[in-house]
Amino acid sequence: MTRTVQCVKLGKEAEGLDRPTYPGELGQRIFDNVSKQAWQQWLQHQTMLINEYRLTPVEPKARKFLEEEMEKFFFGDGSEKPGDYVPPEE
């Protein structure tokens, strides 16, 4: 049976995550309130942040930054793209 959540990012009921994808309290909030589709959107946004800011995710400072951006992306005003970001041409 598919688990559904009222997704805070999409603003509608959608298929929920199969398991928590992040540790701790934030991970539980994401599991309870974020859909699979919204999580995929975050992964794409996170990849862009890592590439544009040349982050090394194993570094504590980079992990803290990404966690703050994740919180904003789902539960705040949204995570901004870098000011000089140019999307790749398709």
- Residue 70 belongs to what domain range? 4-75
Top-confidence residue, 86 or 9: 9
Let me know if residue 86 belongs to a domain.
no
Let me know if residue 88 belongs to a domain.
no
Query: What average pLDDT is seen over the chain?
Result: 91
Top-confidence residue, 79 or 58: 58
Let me know if residue 10 belongs to a domain.
yes
Whichever domain contains 31, its CATH number is: 1.10.3880.10
The reported pTM is: 0.87
Let me know if residue 84 belongs to a domain.
no
| Dist. CA 74–CA 56, nearest whole Å | 22
18-58 pLDDT, tens digit each: 999 999 999 999 999 999 999 999 999 999 999 999 999 99
Closest CA to 17 of 34, 40, 42, 41: 34
Let me know if residue 66 belongs to a domain.
yes
- What is the per-residue pLDDT for 80? 75
